[in-house]
Amino acid sequence: MKNVLNKVVLSGYAGADVEVKNLANNQKVAKVNIAINEYFTTKNGEEIKKTNWFLLTFWNANADLAEKEIKKGSLVSIEGRLQTGFYETKGGTKRYTTDIVVNQLILNTEKATA
């Protein structure tokens, strides 16, 4: 079997403060969405800004670090992996999710300016 790779590297701005939950067995999870803007020009010359949102998930020691360092507007750079899942709504609808489980948080000092 060949080696496979599931690696994500992202840098964007936190849309809110980190949400933290303490779980059983001294587990801790932290989640935050980051926004990454893309800019492109249409064939008509119109400049377009597209914002993509990504959900980051931090576990245990990484959750502690995220809770301490990430605030709304913080520049967040990470390395991690994609993880898919699903849940069922109260109405019985199945919703699919794609999260990025963070292996490494790279600290930045820059904040969003607008």
Question: Is the model's pLDDT at 31 over the cut of 60?
Answer: yes
Q: Tell me the DSSP string of the chain.
A: -------EEEEEEESSPPEEEE-GGG-EEEEEEEEEEEEEE-TTS-EEEEEEEEEEEEETHHHHHHHHH--TTBEEEEEEEEEEEEEE-TTS-EEEEEEEEEEEEE----B---
For residues 9-30, average pLDDT: 96
Query: Does 90 map to a domain?
Result: yes
pLDDT tens across 38-77, in order?
999 999 999 999 999 999 999 999 999 999 999 999 999 9
pLDDT tens across 72-92, in order?
999 999 999 999 999 999 999
CATH number of the domain within which 91 lies: 2.40.50.140
Tell the burial category of 64 from Cβ atoms under 10 Å away from its Cβ (0-12, 13-18, 19+). middle
Query: Does 78 map to a domain?
Result: yes
pTM confidence score: 0.84
Q: Which domain holds residue 98?
A: 8-106
Question: Is the model's pLDDT at 8 over the cut of 90?
Answer: yes
Query: Does 59 map to a domain?
Result: yes
Tell me how long the chain is: 114
Query: Does 52 map to a domain?
Result: yes
How many structural domains compose the chain?
A: 1
Query: Does 94 map to a domain?
Result: yes
Q: Band the pLDDT of 111: cuts 50, 70, 90.
A: low
